[in-house]
Homo-oligomer: A and B are copies of this chain.
Amino acid sequence: MKNTFGNNVSVTLFGESHGEMIGAVLDGMTPGIPVDEAFIAHQMNLRRSANAMLSTARAEPDLVRIVSGVFEGKTTGTPITFLIENTNTRSGDYAAMRYIARPGHADYTAEMKYHGYQDPRGGGHFSGRITAGLVAAGAVALTALKGKGITVGTHIAACADIQDRPFGDLAADLAALNEKEFAVLDPNAEAQMKAAITAAKTEGDSVGGVLETAVTGLPAGVGEPWFDTVESVLAHILFGIPAVKGVEFGAGFALADQKGSEANDPFRASDGKIITATNNCGGILGGITNGMPLTIRCAVKPTPSIYKEQETVDFDKCENTPLVIHGRHDPAIIHRARVVVDSAVALALCDLLVTRFGTDWLMK
């Protein structure tokens, strides 16, 4: 379905970096969910993260205009349309770069797919800017989940080879993270990561990292195996986020080196509830939630736009050419991508929950 994700709760993304508007349509959301414009703005600001040291975000404030699907401050159950204007575009000189494939970018692959008709300005439809629509729609999804006692939060588990501390008390950690612009749990790690980003900026280079997400409060029994498992559905939307090149659940790739006796999570009866003593499975067994927290890790590649000279091709002439990229570029996007991941996870979970429990379930 190309730019639409989801079966029963779906989101459609549209727009180009330097077009008139970008945005999203969120359909199938349960009616009656409060639409909190301040929270949407908060999330948009986390994505924009205009910290001058770490980002070179556009000056534009990413105001979200909701033009359908909300009545008297609540979702109606019909499609919600989020519009964001592109007010600060500078695309005068794209023609010179029209056929130069920036390494790590979609310029060449878009040409192969769209035959030159794609909008090349600022990355066009492939710009990370398009995630703004996902964040706007995700804010409503996060509010819906919150109304059911479900919390989503993400920290920068690693950046430039510096590790954050692992999740501890999830309630406290998620609450803290969701207020932070730079979502790291350990202040020392935060300082080192920021220094590494600043250093990369100085070098004209960029860094990546790992985002780790936890979700608490999900009921057991959610997920639609074999093919719409929780892992499949979450990975599907997460791999739609431009820089994500790896997704793992629970202990993930670390399970490859474990024995079964280490990897298996022992079940426990606890106060009439069934839990597991460890959570190597990340809250998912057989593709279905087990009532424990979901844990998800996404590998985020370093920003491909760097200032160092690179080797590349002019794909019109099929000739090698050196490339120096100008303009504003972030030395890291991982601190901004974190809210995109939260949004994507929330949208996918709303879809799975409404699939499982019906279109009204997210109502309080």
Contacts and interface: CB of A to CB of B under 8 A. Distances in A.
A299 B256 contact: yes
A240 interface: yes
A208 B358 contact: no
A25 B31 contact: no
Interface string A224-256: 111111011101110110101111111111111
Contacts of A61: none
A178 to B, nearest CB: 23
Contact of A15 (B81, B208, B240, B246): B81
Given A235-B247, A264-B104, A259 B220 contact: no
A35 B5 CA distance: 26
A301 B248 CA distance: 11
| Number of copies of this protein chain within its complex | 4
Contacts of A15: 67-68, 79, 81
Given A256-B158, A260-B303, A2 B224 contact: yes
- Name the interface size band of chain A: 35 or more
A10 B25 CA distance: 13
Contacts of A301: 251, 255-256, 258, 263, 280
Given A229-B239, A245-B281, A272 B16 contact: no
Interface stretch (A49-57, A142-150, A286-294): A286-294
B16 A3 contact: no
Given A108-B290, A286-B126, A361-B358, A302 B263 contact: yes
A300 B79 CA distance: 26
Interface in A1-59: 1-5, 7-8, 10, 12-16, 19-23, 25, 27-28, 31-32
The 8 A-B residue pairs whose C-beta atoms are closest, nearest first, are A106-B286, A112-B221, A246-B248, A206-B260, A358-B358, A31-B117, A109-B288, A103-B264
